[in-house]
Amino acid sequence: MKLINENFIKIPATYLFSEIAKRVNLLQQQEPDAQIIRMGIGDVSLPLPDVSVDAMIKAAEEQRHSTTFRGYGPEQGYDFLRKAICENDYHSRGISMEMDEVFVSDGSKSDTGNIGDIFSSDNKVAITDPSYPVYVDTNAMAGRAGEPGETGAWSNIVYLPCNEANGFVPELPREEVDLIYLCYPNNPTGTTLTHAQLKKWVDYAREKKSIILFDAAYEAFITEENVPHSIYELEGAREVAIEFRSFSKTAGFTGTRCAYTVVPRGLMAYTRNGDAIALNRLWNRRHTTKFNGTSYVVQRAAEATYTPEGKAQVKALIGYYMENARIIREGLLKAGYTIYGGINAPYVWAKAPAGMSSWGYFDYLLKDKHLVTTPGAGFGASGEGFVRFSAFGSREATIAAMKRLE
């Protein structure tokens, strides 16, 4: 008799966004004239850069003709894109990187979810709290999370609280952990780690033979000098870290789908007998067995973001959102709120007024100000008492929203 993977049924359904939608719909019914401004989204609002559209159209035309048609491409991505990635995202920062360490994919959600395939289900996992829910959910599916408790916390996950008390800088775990998820600049808090703060984690991982799964999807939003763009800026990180990068937020590829994952050649994990095995080889095996490459036209669109015009267009996109972030920060500060983030990330993490919960604050902003945010508790226990404001909306809506808070 066919059996299911019972880990799946332990995972509670995610009610966060459906609950938000329900409350927004209710308000819209009660107040049909309310001009609701949505600042809860993590999706971009500006269109694709022209260079990417042009490159996609050119590539699509190539697909029309026998002489230029491309069928199956390399599962790991075309050399033209892997080369552009190495040169522009790594070599330009003095980081050595070979093409065969870069695996192009259809998105970081796929990669951060699928990476678990190559690890034993016995590994102990540490995850910052609050966090992007995919890290927890995919480990739960693989049987690494243990059992879910009443508060929503899993018995076998080591949560790394990021809160006001520690300045949103997670402390090293007291128990030994094998896999550590870090996302910086952080979603949802918008905070970052400095070189020195990240170095502690790299050193810990080297000492304990742990792996850091470093999600750098928001790297392009960094404006400050002392914030690492890549974990490989840290000495020794190539021995302990896998890095995830995405074109989604950088270049507006949320609906176009392209990302990449770096697995350095020298990065090892172990068999039960203690034999060191190169993870690059295992991920290559996973990627070539369960994936057939990213769409050719999409890879050309991604490549175009590395041209001089492409870089200028991406910079303009990022600049637009970061000006929104500045407006949100300023508006919230003026209104007397305590806030974090928004300087190196498109998210501002706003503290609920004293005694108010995430959902209470959310409801207040929705009912009194007609603003939709995301309740921080939806990202984990340490998100309680906060909401996330997104800078991905239009300038006009962002300004209007802050006016309402004056």
Site for a copy of itself in 10-69 (CB under 8 A): 11, 43-48, 50, 52-53, 56-57, 60-61, 63-66, 68-69
Closest CA to 245 of 227, 224, 232, 230: 230
Number of residues that bind a copy of itself (CB under 8 A): 79
Distance CA 37, CA 400 (A): 8
**Least gap, CB of 92 to a copy of itself (angstroms):** 27
Nearer to a copy of itself, 240 or 332 (CB): 240
Closest CA to 213 of 313, 131, 154: 131
What's the chain's Rg over C-alpha atoms?
Answer: 21
Q: Which residues pair with 102 in a beta bridge?
A: 262
Using CB under 8 A, pick the residue from 23, 88, 123, 369 that binds a copy of itself. 123
Using CB under 8 A, pick the residue from 285, 315, 334, 403 that binds a copy of itself. 285
**Least gap, CB of 48 to a copy of itself (angstroms):** 4
Site of tokens 């080889």: 281
Subset of 163-182 contacting a copy of itself (CB under 8 A): 178-179
Closest CA to 279 of 209, 380, 192, 363: 209
For residue 167, CA distances in Å to 131, 149, 171, 192, 340 come to: 16, 27, 10, 10, 9
Subset of 286-345 contacting a copy of itself (CB under 8 A): 286, 289-298
Stretch that binds a copy of itself, among 231-239, 251-259, 331-339, 341-349 (CB under 8 A): 251-259
Q: Does 121 bind a copy of itself (CB under 8 A)?
A: yes
Dihedral sign of CA atoms 75, 79, 81, 83 in order: positive
Q: Which residues pair with 125 in a beta bridge?
A: 157, 179
Phi, psi values for residue 236, rounded to 5°: 85, -5
**Least gap, CB of 380 to a copy of itself (angstroms):** 16
Nearer to a copy of itself, 5 or 96 (CB): 5
Nearer to a copy of itself, 27 or 46 (CB): 46
Closest CA to 201 of 173, 224, 165: 173
**DSSP secondary structure letters along 237-288:** GGGTEEEEEESHHHHS-TTT--EEEE--TT-EEE-TT--EEEHHHHHHHHHH
Contact between residue 365 and residue 371 where contact means Cβ atoms under 8 Å apart: yes
**DSSP secondary structure letters along 166-223:** TTT-PPPPSS--SEEEEESS-TTT-----HHHHHHHHHHHHHHT-EEEEE-TTGGG--
Subset of 184-213 contacting a copy of itself (CB under 8 A): 208-211
Q: Does 109 bind a copy of itself (CB under 8 A)?
A: yes
**Least gap, CB of 59 to a copy of itself (angstroms):** 9
Stretch that binds a copy of itself, among 110-118, 154-162, 356-364, 367-375 (CB under 8 A): 110-118
Using CB under 8 A, pick the residue from 254, 307, 338, 357 that binds a copy of itself. 254
Nearer to a copy of itself, 112 or 191 (CB): 112
Q: Does 239 bind a copy of itself (CB under 8 A)?
A: no
Using CB under 8 A, pick the residue from 88, 120, 307, 338 that binds a copy of itself. 120
Q: Does 141 bind a copy of itself (CB under 8 A)?
A: yes
Distance CA 52, CA 58 (A): 10
Contact string 350-379 vs a copy of itself (x = CB under 8 A): ------------------------------
Stretch that binds a copy of itself, among 163-171, 249-257, 319-327, 398-406 (CB under 8 A): 249-257
**Least gap, CB of 250 to a copy of itself (angstroms):** 13
Using CB under 8 A, pick the residue from 33, 35, 72, 308 that binds a copy of itself. 72
Phi-psi region of 41 (alpha: psi -120 to 50; beta: other; left: phi over 0): beta
Contact between residue 323 and residue 342 where contact means Cβ atoms under 8 Å apart: no
